[in-house]
Chains A and B, each alone.
Chain A
């Protein structure tokens, strides 16, 4: 199994290299410094979201509500600053909202035993609806002077590297540390591999699952802050976009099986690079938004089919109703 998984990583990496090479040769304007910067900046938000999704998917779940966590709490922070609150208060409110949201997700999935896809689909709608109905006045929450200085989270460079890339790198290191160096990370792998065995061994499965969704929501919120800082606003309608499918695509293409218990940060990085290159190339080729979605959808479908062959569902531990 390990051999196949490694080879999948290698294949995806080879695909990335090939794609990059082809685009560099055939696409005018692909291999320019400006485009590379755009690519990396776009990709870094996607990559951070991919890390959040990876944490959940490794624990045999999925979090469709990530985009809501990306859009609403940072949007709330911006809105509060606009309304005259100080930045620290706004940020801590956003973080508290994110934690509460993660707790609700986790409780629904771990304690109420609602399937994760289903629960997060609904909570995502709930949070987005909350933002739309109560929190925001406009669909795009504008930057205000109170936020000055905060834009450095997404703009400029640190040691010559674009900041958003640095943020992605920091997120990677943190998540890699959590997953590989802490007991909590080992528990996530155990739960993802076989939830019943994990439970029988005495792992506190339910609290760990809750924690998993809280962490995912926090990473999602972080991604949202980076995004808001880099574009100087929070377009909350991003919830209606297909960004979440890009995130799933990153994770699945990167080689983190949806059946859980496998993969790591490296897979997310590889997946992000492939998707980022593909999206960037398609944008340069001037493929329409709908056309891009069509291509992404087909690629995702192929990835899921391949995934189901490489990591077949374990019929013994797949629950009834695990749809």
Chain B
């Protein structure tokens, strides 16, 4: 009963989604967006007309003006600095625009250009001090804040009357301030255009990448040849220019130079920036985050003003939000990977009946023996991690290596070893096609084709994205083993879509069906996923009817058969289940049966743990990785089975000296060649009663000269 409840709970509740969602970049933007929705909803319920068109247009104008400043600050924060002087630059450029227009009577285009130049100049002072003289950004911009502010105060003492008494009636100037296109205020329109450009700039253009790189690690950016000082200085210039754009709209909207313009603006903009999720200290941030932050802050301040809150409350609210947002941001950035790694492992319920006996004297097909004791070792100490081995029709032996090479041992004595092809990822399963091309599954890379002359080509590294997966499962993470049908379809297994090559045993800890079988069509080049939700699919072998494949589910401890053609097309049948170990590769035997490697044997402890997902989750959270209860992959065996699911024979290395760990085996001319992903050798075992002329290539594709 309890087991049933546990099994139902783990079958239908998607535990694994939490870790996958948290590891997505967009969650960091999603949180401010949700906050924005909550704030907007709360105020629209408590204040009348909060979302009326007039109120919204007014908010949009303010948001546009502040949005420009926030964009500038975002740029500066992403590059790893901060700009507190924006409020004063805002005031000064506002004055500049109005002075030029009202007092000097310049034409509007000239005013616009001059104001932007003024902003650039004020920003350039910051940029020079921080970028080239390498002063601390915070203290420096705090000082320029005072200097600019006092300059502004001095200027308005002299000119505020002249500006206040002028009433310029210039349509183009009014259009900037109060006009709208299709109901959208001019300022919002310009903001949207600049924001879109800013997004492209930050995510697609070289200078934007330089900015992010410097913010991420200034020294590394310098070492990779990025002009750090110039880029930083230019960011402050850009901040000045963007602030002056905001000031231009403000000037044309209100046309005043009051004493408190821009006072405390830096705190508002800073709050917006941090609240949007742009990380203080640099390296992370986006235009969307900046915009969302501005909207939240504006909604809150406008809402509080509408509710007649005292000035102090407004101040406290802003400061409080700023602090909480900064704290959350800092803690999250610091602990992100740790949190994700804690919640990412999401074990599920996996019950297996007690395994068949393997002990000596207990009988049964898996009874241990010592047949593999005298296996010859090929390439002992010279090859590392030959997961799969294969022989071509000229008797040469191929095996993958940990170093990302396909090694070739030359017949007849297999003494001479050479690099047949260099790939760069770890080669796993291998198969020859009719044209002697060697297809290889590469962990972390996909399916590759090696021509007989050793040139490497990519066959496929992606498949169709499934809509219901949070992790991007279009890329191949762990292509494992393959076989080729008579029609040139390549069926290959992807063991897991949740873990990388080096973490594959963790998938066994989860025991969820994370794997799939994918088909690559060599004639059309198309790739599509055939079967999903398999528990670490591994070995694949085309069955005798040519219409189905046999595949092994390592952590499902079973062999299944999948029909891809014929009358039973699309169905899956269990050939064998409840194996005593974890099945790996499957290959043809000379007598029409199949070889199967058991990479490791089941243990009662893990079998029990598989029924206790909560226990495994606690283990994943509280115990360091190297202390986890992992599937045993240290000792295993080779068995021979037929399509009816009957075990015919088993081969063990009882003393574990020569060949304890086996992930693959190939029969060739009366010998069995053994590979193991943790081994430093390839085993060669003389088979009794085997066809001395059996060559897999000949059997599959017909004998050729």
Write the chain A residue with the least CB distance to B76: A323
- The answer to the question of B316 belonging to the interface, with a C-beta cut-off of 8 Å to chain A, is yes
Task: Kindly provide the distance from the CB of B228 to the nearest chain A CB, expressed in whole angstroms.
Answer: 13
CB atoms of B147 and A323 under 8 A apart: no
CB atoms of B313 and A114 under 8 A apart: no
Known contacts A133-B310, A308-B133, A320-B217; is-contact A258 B139 (Cβ 8 Å): yes
CB atoms of B146 and A113 under 8 A apart: no
Interface residues of A in 295-323 (CB under 8 A from B): 296-298, 300-301, 304-305, 308, 313, 315, 319-323
CB atoms of B315 and A293 under 8 A apart: no
- The answer to the question of B91 belonging to the interface, with a C-beta cut-off of 8 Å to chain A, is no
Known contacts A290-B153, A297-B143; is-contact A123 B323 (Cβ 8 Å): yes
Query: From DSSP, what is the main secondary structure of chain A's interface residues?
Result: helix
The distance in angstroms between the C-alpha atoms of A129 and B322, with both chains bound, is: 14
Task: Kindly provide the distance from the CB of A46 to the nearest chain B CB, expressed in whole angstroms.
Answer: 16
Interface residues of A in 113-146 (CB under 8 A from B): 113-115, 117-119, 121-126, 128-134
- The answer to the question of A108 belonging to the interface, with a C-beta cut-off of 8 Å to chain B, is yes
How many A residues, CB 8 Å from partner? Answer: 48
- The answer to the question of A245 belonging to the interface, with a C-beta cut-off of 8 Å to chain B, is yes
CB atoms of A305 and B135 under 8 A apart: yes
Residues of A within 8 A of B149 (CB): 293
Write the chain B residue with the least CB distance to A130: B316
Per-residue 0/1 for B309-332: is the Cβ within 8 Å of any A Cβ (1 yes, 0 no)? 111111111111011001100110
Task: Kindly provide the distance from the CB of B77 to the nearest chain A CB, expressed in whole angstroms.
Answer: 9
Write the chain A residue with the least CB distance to B321: A122
CB atoms of A134 and B312 under 8 A apart: yes
CB atoms of A126 and B327 under 8 A apart: no
CB atoms of A296 and B146 under 8 A apart: yes
Task: Kindly provide the distance from the CB of B22 to the nearest chain A CB, expressed in whole angstroms.
Answer: 21
Write the chain A residue with the least CB distance to B130: A323
Residues of A within 8 A of B157 (CB): 288, 290
- The answer to the question of B117 belonging to the interface, with a C-beta cut-off of 8 Å to chain A, is no
Residues of B within 8 A of A62 (CB): 139
CB atoms of A125 and B316 under 8 A apart: yes
Known contacts A126-B320, A305-B129, A323-B280; is-contact A294 B147 (Cβ 8 Å): yes
The distance in angstroms between the C-alpha atoms of A108 and B320, with both chains bound, is: 12
Task: Kindly provide the distance from the CB of A161 to the nearest chain B CB, expressed in whole angstroms.
Answer: 33
CB atoms of B146 and A129 under 8 A apart: no
Residues of B within 8 A of A297 (CB): 143-144, 146-147, 150
Instruction: Determine the interface band of chain B, counting residues with CB < 8 A from chain A.
Output: 35 or more
The distance in angstroms between the C-alpha atoms of A62 and B326, with both chains bound, is: 17
A245, A315, A319: which contacts B146 (Cβ < 8 A)?
Answer: A245
Write the chain B residue with the least CB distance to A252: B139
The distance in angstroms between the C-alpha atoms of A315 and B150, with both chains bound, is: 34
The distance in angstroms between the C-alpha atoms of A323 and B270, with both chains bound, is: 14
CB atoms of A114 and B323 under 8 A apart: yes
- The answer to the question of A291 belonging to the interface, with a C-beta cut-off of 8 Å to chain B, is yes
- The answer to the question of A248 belonging to the interface, with a C-beta cut-off of 8 Å to chain B, is yes
Write the chain B residue with the least CB distance to A294: B150
Residues of A within 8 A of B133 (CB): 305, 308
Known contacts A132-B312, A290-B150, A297-B143; is-contact A308 B326 (Cβ 8 Å): no
Write the chain B residue with the least CB distance to A292: B150
The distance in angstroms between the C-alpha atoms of A134 and B314, with both chains bound, is: 12
Residues of B within 8 A of A301 (CB): 129, 140, 143-144, 147
The distance in angstroms between the C-alpha atoms of A313 and B138, with both chains bound, is: 14
The distance in angstroms between the C-alpha atoms of A67 and B327, with both chains bound, is: 23
CB atoms of B312 and A131 under 8 A apart: yes
Known contacts A129-B315, A290-B157; is-contact A321 B143 (Cβ 8 Å): no
CB atoms of A321 and B282 under 8 A apart: yes
Which A residues form the contact surface with B (CB < 8 A)? 62, 108, 112-115, 117-119, 121-126, 128-134, 242, 245, 248, 258, 288-294, 296-298, 300-301, 304-305, 308, 313, 315, 319-323
Extra contacts besides A122-B320, A122-B322 (10): CB < 8 Å? A112-B331, A114-B323, A122-B326, A125-B318, A132-B315, A258-B136, A288-B157, A290-B154, A321-B80, A323-B281
List 9 A-B pairs, Cβ < 8 Å.
A114-B323, A125-B319, A130-B316, A133-B312, A294-B147, A297-B143, A301-B140, A305-B133, A323-B138
- The 8 closest A-B CB pairs, nearest first, are A321-B281, A133-B312, A132-B312, A129-B315, A129-B316, A290-B153, A293-B150, A125-B319
